Amino acid sequence: MGERKFKTEVKQLLDLMINSLYSNKDIFLRELVANAADAIDKARFGSLTDPAQVRKWEIRVIPDKTGKTLVISDNGIGMSEAEVIENIGTIAKSGTKAFLAALEEKKESAAPEMIGQFGVGFYSAFMVADKVELETRKAGEESGVRWISDGKDSYEIGKCDRAEIGTSVRLFLKGDAETYLENWKLSDIIRKYSDFIEYPIILPSVKVNDDKTETVTDTVVNSQKAIWLRKSSEITEEEYQSFYSHLSKMNAGKYLKAIHLSAEGVTEFKALLFLPESVPFNIFMPELQKKGLALYVKRVFITDECAELVPDYLRFLRGVVDSSDLPLNVSREILQQNPLLGKIQKAIVTKILAELKKMQENEPEAYAKFFKEFGKILKEGMHTDVGNQEKLQHLAMYETLNNEPGKLISLDDYVKAMKPDQKDIYFITGDSRKNVESNPALELCRSKGYDVLLMIDPIEEWVMNSNFQFDKKLFKSVAKGELELDGADKEAAEKKIEEAKGKYQALTDYLVKHFDAKLSEVRFTARLTKSPACLVGTDSSISPYMEKLFKAMNQSFPQTKRVLELNCDHPLIAAMAQLVGKEESAGRLDKFADLLMDQALLSEGSAIDDPSAFTARVTDLMTEALAGK
């Protein structure tokens, strides 16, 4: 054995790797198993042209509690002494990377998929070991090679009598790392990080018999079933459900649809994505939910929380993405900010939205059920994903005024059913169908038979701040701004309003003064057909429901002054106008005005400022009426 110095400033770099690079020491086993799989990939690739190299490929993980060592071995390609010096003696020198480069030069088309960084991954072993011994032999070499190091500033290398082709890495474990000698611990790590490695990972278990002899049983720990690489026609419902449950963990339920995605070209990856059947309990509890999809690179687990793979409005998706060429940093724990991630996300979003559209068209009942579960989440994308806003608008569904409670229709269906004289898409926001249906602002639409979208999800008003039109038709809130009519209806309404302005000018002046702190305007409207008055907002104001949500979240905001609209034809308005300017009726007019305001608030589902004062006013007026005053 001869001693050699490392070609880099090893001590400083190893200190960085061992103490800073990896946040979880379990990673060492993932790295060594991945390296073993790479070595078998290389050997198997060579066997395509040399059948004599074919053998039963396998990886072995062998703990020895007596010697306090852990061995990870493979029967892959092995290394010559020069390759050991080149790949192991130089930190971060990637044998795999060089191998792929050589294949590229030869223009080989059948190169195996491999995950690189052999040099760096190998040295993660020193997180748990104070000495590492490597033995390897390459086919065609006369003898094997032994490499030993304590991971400081030098290593020993020389020949050994190894007969088997392949590589074994023996770790002399540190005192605080002896838990890695336990089969349960090793099994857990392998199943978490390397379950879908296509070669069997074998873990022997020792049983002591009654006669004190020992029986060794080999157990294949990993499933070797990368379900996402198989054709959908070859996968059973039981296998899909089992894998979905594996991904969902504590949120496991039934899945609604399994979606395969395969991309080739500039960005190569395969994905298996699941639409859940029902909302997980923690979907609105960010601190308790995993974000993103599981990410594998060449079937090696990287993370189960790759948030960059899906936008937040698709956070209900479960699934796995397996990339063939996604660059990682040296630790493989933190993805580099790489444009490939954005391309993968774009491909996933396109596929999912297309599948949802297909479901909406071909399986309307199943889609309606899905949308009732996940619609309020999907609608977030109408505000946040401008590039896909139109697609999401087509997918959005709503209850409407003209349809029975619980029935959802799409915007396409709404537009098809619009009256010939209707030019805008009408909507109203609120916290429940019951509350919004009672809003007087709907009266004109009811009288003309116009349908109205009932937007009763908490997110709706925020979403509509950036949704201005659909199918070249403007969205119009029936509870904001002035409601315009067309043709003869418009002329008749404008004439009636102008007459009311002149006739009841004194009343509107009084109401403006009386409610100076609450109202920005008092005006007559064609919006009302039955009620005497209603409250509406300006085109840019937030709704009372949104104000209520802000208050519930202890958010402060400027007080919004509303607009009080009056019905030109209502007898109450005419009666109140008779009291204006009469000194003896001043107190009664104040009571009527306050009741009118409270009535408008209650009709739209808002709370009144002072319920006890409201009750007192009603009682007084009832008493006066019964007394004949």
Residue 114, domain CATH: 3.30.565.10
pLDDT in tens, 561-611: 899 999 999 999 999 999 998 877 778 899 999 999 999 999 888 888 899
Which of 442, 477, 512 finishes a domain? 477
Same domain, 8 and 102: yes
Tell me, yes or no, whether 336 lies in a domain: yes
Domain boundary (154, 188, 220) is at: 220
Contact 316, 248 (CB under 8 A): no
Angle between helix axes 95-105 and 27-47 (nearest 10 degrees) is 30
**Residues 425 and 470 sit within 8 Å (Cβ to Cβ):** yes
Q: For residue 231, is it within any domain?
A: yes
DSSP state, 437?
A: H
Q: Are residues 622 and 535 in the same domain?
A: yes
Residue 383's domain comprises 364-477
Q: Which amino acid is at 351?
A: K
Same structural domain, 164 and 300? no
Q: Residue 477 to residues 309, 469, 491, 550: CA-CA distances in angstroms?
A: 35, 12, 22, 20
Domain co-membership, 26 together with 160: yes
Taking every pair of Cα atoms in the chain, the longest distance, rounded to a whole number of angstroms, is: 121
pLDDT value at position 108? 52
Q: Which residues contact 342 (CB under 8 A, 6 or more apart)?
A: 308
| 287, part of any domain | yes
**Pair 469, 435: CB distance under 8 Å:** no
Do 234 and 201 reside in the same domain of the chain? no
Tokens of 436: 């919004």
Whether 550 is in a domain gets the answer yes
The CATH number of whichever domain residue 606 belongs to comes to: 1.20.120.790
Query: Does some domain include residue 130?
Result: yes
- 33-58 pLDDT, tens per residue? 988 998 998 888 888 788 888 899 99
- Say whether both 560 and 449 belong to one domain: no
3-state secondary structure of 176: helix
* 580 and 511 together in one domain: yes
Query: Confidence class of residue 148 from pLDDT cuts 50, 70 and 90?
Result: very high
Residues 103 and 91 both lie in one domain: yes
Q: Which amino acid is at 366?
A: A
CA distance 182 to 190: 13
Name, in order, each residue with C-beta under 8 angstroms of 448's C-beta and a sequence gap of 6 or more. Answer: 419, 421, 422
Question: Are 234 and 315 within one domain?
Answer: yes
Helix (H) / strand (E) element for 289: namely: none
348 found inside a domain: yes
Residue 199 CB burial class (10 angstroms; 0-12, 13-18, ≥19)? buried
- Examine residue 482 and state whether it is found in any structural domain, yes or no: no
What is the model's pLDDT at position 606? 85
| Judgement on whether residues 133 and 263 belong to the same structural domain of the protein | no
Half-sphere exposure of 535 (CA within 13 A, CB side): 26
- Six token digits for residue 553: 């979240």
- CATH number of domain containing 294: 3.30.230.80
| CATH code, domain with 385 | 3.40.50.11260
Closest to 392 (Cα-Cα) out of 452, 432, 352: 352
% the chain with pLDDT above 70: 85
Per-residue model confidence (pLDDT) at position 115: 43
CB under 8 Å to 558, separation ≥6 — which residues? Answer: none
Strand partners, 303: 295
State whether 469 and 437 are in the same domain: yes
Write phi, then psi, for 76 (nearest 5 degrees): -85, -145
> CB–CB of 493/485 below 8 Å?
yes
Predicted structure pTM score = 0.78
Tokens of 293: 């999809």
Phi/psi at 545 (5° precision): -65, -40
Mean pLDDT of 460-488: 86
Out of 81-90, 259-268, 322-331, which region has the weakest mean confidence (pLDDT)? 322-331
- pLDDT of residue 620 exceeding 90: no
DSSP 468: -
pLDDT recorded at residue 523: 94
Distance of alpha carbon 190 from alpha carbon 338, whole angstroms: 28
pLDDT tens digit sequence for 208-258: 788 888 888 999 999 888 899 989 998 989 889 888 887 876 555 789 999
Q: What angle do CA 128, 134, 137 make, to 5 degrees?
A: 155
Q: Which of 477, 508, 527 is a domain's end point?
A: 477
Q: In whole angstroms, give the CA distance from residue 302 to residue 27.
A: 10
Total domains in the fold of the chain: 4
| Helix, coil or strand: residue 367 | helix
**136 and 211 housed in the same domain:** yes
Helix 586-603 to helix 505-514 angle (10° resolution) is 80
Name the least confident of 263-272, 541-550, 587-596: 541-550
Amino acid at 483: L
Strand, helix or coil for residue 585 = helix
Beta 562-567 vs 519-525: how paired, if at all?
A: parallel
